[in-house]
Amino acid sequence: MNYIFYFLIVISIIAGAINGKLPDVVSAILTGASLSVKIALSLIGIMAFWLGMMNIAQKSGLIEVIAKLIKPITKRLFNEIPEDSPAIGDIAMSFSANAFGLTNAATPIGIKAMEELQKHNIDKTSASNAMCLFLAMNTAGFQIIPATVIGILVGVGYPNPTQIIAPTLFVTTLAFTFAIITAKVFQRFWKPQSEVR
């Protein structure tokens, strides 16, 4: 990736020099650098707020309440894992973080959930159906509030950053639903090793 960006920068400078637009290229580089700092600072504020909210939710027991609320759904979706598995709580936390657009916060929680799912995996050399389903659902990235994107739009000075909430909710709901359906369909073709034997 570094080589790609380096190549793009060099090509831009060469093209700017050839076309007599080198001052514009230099100005764009400086403006972009300044804007990136502004965006980073706005993201820090939003990430700190939502990570704090997630931490409060976890310590207050709200995540456990969410886990209990979605337990009937997770029980049907993740029928390979026991109901009392810690993976259920981790899955609930991961979905909560993703729902609020905190993909950076959802990543370590998702890894922890995968580790818990691996404990229930029969064949340790390949992913179980539950692991594949969880990965598909996480990749689809259902979001109620795309906090990270809103933070970027605020950073660049977009006049109405919250107008992306409805389209994001619609698109991520479709992707999330399709991911679940696709994973469940493929589970019918690839049975767990214990069932194959």
Per-residue model confidence (pLDDT) at position 41: 78
Query: Under a CB-based contact definition with an 8 Å cutoff, are residues 108 and 154 in contact?
Result: no
Check pLDDT > 50 for residue 194.
Answer: no
Over residues 152-161, mean pLDDT: 80
Question: Which of 73-82, 149-158, 162-171, 188-197 has the lowest average pLDDT?
Answer: 188-197
The overall average pLDDT reported for the chain is: 80
Q: Is residue 32 part of a domain?
A: no
The domain in which residue 69 lies consists of 40-196
> Do the domain assignments include residue 25?
no
Contact indicator for 165, 145 with CB cutoff of 8 Å: yes
Average pLDDT over residues 34-62: 76
- Please indicate, yes or no, if residue 169 is contained in any of the structural domains: yes
The yes-or-no verdict on residue 116 having pLDDT over 60 is yes
Whether 126 maps to a domain, the answer reads yes
Q: Is the pLDDT of residue 159 over 80?
A: yes
Residue 75 has pLDDT above 80, yes or no: no
pLDDT of residue 177: 92
> In angstroms, what CA-CA distances link 135 with 1, 81, 114, 128, 169?
24, 15, 9, 11, 19
pLDDT at res. 191 = 64
33 found inside a domain = no
Cα-to-chain-centroid distance, residue 33? 26
Structural domain includes residue 34:
no
The C-alpha angle 182, 195, 138, rounded to 5 degrees, equals 30
Mean predicted confidence (pLDDT) in 39-62: 75
Q: Count how many Cα atoms sit within 13 Å of the Cα of residue 97 in the half-sphere of its side chain.
A: 26
- Establish if 88 belongs to a structural domain: yes
Q: How confident is the model at residue 195 (pLDDT cuts 50, 70, 90)?
A: very low
- The yes-or-no verdict on residue 101 having pLDDT over 70 is no
Task: Tell me how many domains the chain contains.
Answer: 1
Torsion of CA 62, 63, 65, 66, to 10 degrees: 120
Instruction: Decide if 106 contacts 94 (C-beta within 8 A).
Output: yes
Residue 1 lies in a domain: no
What is the rounded CA–CA span in Å between residue 71 and residue 154? 36
Q: How far apart are CA 133 and CA 127, in angstroms?
A: 10
pLDDT at position 170: 92
